[in-house]
Structure 1
Amino acid sequence: MAVPETFRFKDEQGAEQTINEKDLVAVLPGSHGSPSTIIYVENNEKDDAAPPKVNIIKGEASPTTQPPDTSDSETHIIISTGSGTNKATPFYDQAVKPVLETLFPKGNANFLVHHTESASTIEELTTDIFFPTANAGIALRLILLSGDGGVIDLVNGLLARPCSSDYKAPQVTLIPLGTANALFHSTNAGKDNTWGLRTLGSSTAKPLPVFTTSFSSGARLLVDEARSEEELPKDPKSQRPILHGAVVCSWAMHASLVADSDTTEYRKFGVERFKMAAKDALYPADGSPPHPYSAHISIQKGEDWVRLKAQEHMYVLATMVSNLEKPFCVSPATKPLDGSLHLVHFGPTTGDEAMRIMGLAYQGGKHVEDPAVRYEPIDGLRIEFQGKEKDARWRRICVDGKIVRVEEDGWVELGKEERRVLDVVVD
């Protein structure tokens, strides 16, 4: 095991202190010879899922951060109260707010704070405030305490209408307080342990790669734990139902376990909910083998489409990120925000074999080396059901955690989105 790099400083009493460099948020210079301000976190060694404690002290250390000037931008803080295991509000009060007050002693008074009140709050904020601001060419900085769902709501809201030539992509700082936080873990790539706090003082941002999924006309978005359905937004030109994503579009086992675990009861278990749902799907109570999912699949390479010979499948996933969870590396060839799209696929098999293959993803993505797995870069993916699946359960598509049910003879197609809609702040 590699020895962690350390960061040394002297506290106000002159005693030398040593911390893991990955726990350092920032060192700010003092004024007129006064001590520096050192911000770092203490992580809970017994519980990886517990947010860290923030320490802000005076001491001697070389400055590491020059916070960006916020005077010419508008800053909004979005606290997704229901994300993950409901830790966003206390983490804001105990960590994010004091760090922002330290980094921006003057500017933080002008930051606008929004608490989500429903599943549609972020979409409404985007429609009413964020898009008009960005479309007017005003610099916009968003601090998002949420999971991947918050990002997908921003992306879909910003792409819902044609933009002007003045449009300026907002910058979003990710504070990972959802269940899996795939985008954060893929972007951060283990660089630090500060839960996004280090990026609060960064002025560097990179474009967020996005894909667009289009559906046949009868596709519906499932909401309220699949008790209700809604029409999807429509593409202004083609009038096809569409959803935009930045993480994953999947069908078959992955989509089923995300959909089946998206309940109040399952969400209590945090990221463990996915493993629990996987066991339920792979080992049916009646002792039967896992369901073999049936459809025609085509992949796009450049301008050409190629149909796969197999018509039965178990795992079909296209992704723009490396990690679906912090330890679950689904696409090891993907680099942070590189814009690539990769397919991960394997066919029908036993529950034990499926668990073995997916278990390899927890070993740095070794599943892609398994001969049963098809893994390759693609430019697009199309799934056509053609009446092969009578039961609607087997026609659910997952787009960044949102679940869409496609009709019996329906289809879904995805490809890369060329528009620059949102930038991600990086360290």
Structure 2
Amino acid sequence: MASTQVIHTSDDECFNWDVIGHTLRCRSEQPQKEITIAFDDIICVMPKASRGETVYVLLFVQVDKNGSLDLKSPRMLLGNVKLATAPSFLSHYMWTQIPHHLCSSSSIQRSIYVVISTASGTRTGASLYRNILQPLLSYIGVFGYELHETESTQTVTELCHTRFIPRAQKQLPQTIILLSGDGGLADIIDAFHSTVKTLIVPPSIALIPTGTGNAMANSLGLLAYPATALVALLQGVTADIPTFAARFSPGANYITDEGCGRVSVAHDASDDQADSKIFGGIVASWGVHAALVADSDTIEYRKFGADRFKLAAKEILFPSNGAETHKFSGTVTLFKWDSQARNIREEILGRGEHMYVLATLVSTLEKDFVISPLSKPLDGNLWMIRFGPMSPTRALEVMTSAYQGGQHVSDKSVFYDKIEGFRVQFCEPAEKWRRVCIDGKIVAVEAGGWMEVHKESRALVNVLLLQNHTYPDSN
């Protein structure tokens, strides 16, 4: 991929262009300048009247000096260049009108929100908004949106209850441009499904990924190229986000504050007998996956970005204190359709000891980590991946093969199948081994407790994704 020279054009400059491989070379004679733009970095092309003629403003993701081609980098900028003519092979980037999900007027009554998760990933959400999103919205004529920056882990949930859900219940449309990782999206899914009991107008979420793993964004292809999520914001269509419900025995608690805090999962925490429910759209897991997510959710680990998961996994598999790799004890029961797809049957999985138990609605948990290669974007299918106790070296080999296009599911030691749900009856005396992961949130189940996960039939939240979008080939 070609790097882009950092050149800001003025209103008087107009460039001619030619193509070199998969880049667009733009040149002006007076003054003499040249800009090279990779096709993958192009966001849109906007026709503009200038001195009685039509010229074309091309907007693209631009890497600042010493930066990297990563949308999460604080060195990314919105670049623009004025072209004398528009390349025909960029016709599907042509910007002619604001899409309905970004239209807001007195007649449409659509509200538009920009929500920045300030703590996601390596904390680049604010700079991405300032350097790219804010000028992009200004260019295309989107104004009057509400801007919110998270102040705590509860901010997105509070926004749901004070703004998003009441508006949806009034049958009013809204678009949430969410600069976040999976956590912000998970908060919205859980808040809507936990609260809404009547017919609503689902909010449309434009996900601009700024997290560490970005499972949903990776699975939807929003991180395929630096500009993809921004192209989806302008050209995307809405689709339902399938969800599951994870129900827990009484006494389950969220683990907070880097493992130091406990908050009851039950909506009525005063009722010790109340069971609890969390809604998710990405993953429910127990075993090594849940443990590595829990252990790596610290400031110290987060500075390593996505590598924090690998570092935590190695410590779990190869404990630095020399202890044996833990064998997770419990009974895992699957709920699956019978061969005629008429009745749900139960199937006990394994022999009571496990290493990796994970159910997912998405294909890719982090860049290149294809946990479920048969999953299709938003198809609603829940897949189980499980393997039992094995040597840490062997387990690392299995997990590493997921980075090779999901080859781990072909390993004879790995169970991989479509399910309707599953249940875990925990047989672990120590809380450390009774931690589960629901879309990145960590829950500790009490001794002798259980977790049960089932697919939900309702979809209350939409997401913008690109359909049939092809990147240009000038040849």
Q: TM-score higher than 0.5 here?
A: yes
Match of 1:178 in 2: 211
Give CA deviations for 1:166-189 in whole Å, capped at 9, x if unaligned. x10100011111111110010116
Match of 2:390 in 1: 349
Correspondent of 2:448 among 393, 406, 409: 409
Q: Which amino acid aligns with 1:50?
A: S
Q: Which amino acid aligns with 2:288?
A: M
- Give the distance between the partners of 1:90 and 1:299, measured in 2 at CA: 44
Shift of 1:13: 5.5
Using the TM superposition, name which of 204-213 and 282-291 deviates more: 282-291
- Secondary structure of the residue aligned to 1:339 is coil
Correspondent of 1:50 among 73, 82, 87: 73
- Give the distance between the partners of 1:122 and 1:417, measured in 2 at CA: 22
Q: Which amino acid aligns with 2:193?
A: L
Native 8 Å contact 2:194 2:279 kept in 1: no
Match of 2:48 in 1: 30
Are 1:264 and 2:264 an aligned pair? no
Distance 1:239 1:407, change over 3 A: closer
- Give the distance between the partners of 1:152 and 1:216, measured in 2 at CA: 21
Match of 2:381 in 1: 340
Distance 1:288 1:89, change over 3 A: same
Distance 1:47 1:56, change over 3 A: closer
Correspondent of 2:177 among 136, 143, 156: 143
Shift of 1:102: 1.1
Q: Which runs of 5+ in 1 are unaligned?
A: none
Match of 1:359 in 2: 400
Shift of 1:203: 4.7
Shift of 1:195: 5.5
Give CA deviations for 1:107-149 in whole Å, capped at 9, x if unaligned. 32x1110011111000000000000011111111000001100
Using the TM superposition, name which of 291-300 and 181-190 deviates more: 181-190
- Give the distance between the partners of 1:189 and 1:218, measured in 2 at CA: 38
Shift of 1:158: 1.3
Native 8 Å contact 1:100 1:200 kept in 2: no
Match of 2:341 in 1: none
- Give the distance between the partners of 2:460 and 2:130, measured in 1 at CA: 29
Native 8 Å contact 2:350 2:388 kept in 1: no
Q: Which runs of 4+ in 1 moved over 4 A?
A: 7-18, 43-49
Using the TM superposition, name which of 388-397 and 54-63 deviates more: 54-63
Q: Which amino acid aligns with 1:90?
A: S
If you compute each CA radius of gyration, which structure gives the higher value, 1 or 2?
Answer: 2
Native 8 Å contact 2:251 2:275 kept in 1: no
- Give the distance between the partners of 1:310 and 1:42, measured in 2 at CA: 54
Correspondent of 2:234 among 201, 207, 210: 201
- Secondary structure of the residue aligned to 2:412 is coil
Native 8 Å contact 2:213 2:366 kept in 1: yes
Are 1:223 and 2:260 an aligned pair? no
Distance 1:94 1:16, change over 3 A: closer
Match of 1:6 in 2: 22
Distance 1:287 1:132, change over 3 A: same
Shift of 1:372: 1.0
Residue pairs, 1:4-403, within 5 angstroms:
6=22, 8=24, 19-31=37-49, 33-42=53-62, 48=70, 50=73, 52-59=76-83, 60-61=85-86, 62=91, 64-65=94-95, 66-69=97-100, 70-71=103-104, 72=108, 73-103=110-140, 105=141, 107-108=142-143, 110-165=144-199, 167-188=200-221, 191-194=224-227, 196-234=229-267, 240-302=275-337, 303-385=344-426, 388-403=427-442
- Secondary structure of the residue aligned to 2:390 is coil
Question: TM-score, normalised on structure 1?
Answer: 0.92
- Secondary structure of the residue aligned to 2:119 is coil
- Give the distance between the partners of 1:29 and 1:216, measured in 2 at CA: 59
Question: TM-score, normalised on structure 2?
Answer: 0.83
- Give the distance between the partners of 2:39 and 2:94, measured in 1 at CA: 12
Distance 1:34 1:321, change over 3 A: same
Shift of 1:5: 7.7
Shift of 1:45: 7.8
Shift of 1:20: 3.3
Using the TM superposition, name which of 152-161 and 50-59 deviates more: 50-59
Shift of 1:333: 0.5
Q: Which amino acid aligns with 1:152?
A: A
Identity fraction in percent: 38
- Secondary structure of the residue aligned to 1:124 is helix
Native 8 Å contact 1:332 1:364 kept in 2: yes
Distance 1:264 1:5, change over 3 A: same
- Give the distance between the partners of 1:342 and 1:269, measured in 2 at CA: 29
What RMSD over aligned residues (CA atoms) do the two structures have, in Å?
2.3
Match of 2:15 in 1: none
Distance 1:278 1:402, change over 3 A: same
Distance 1:21 1:57, change over 3 A: same
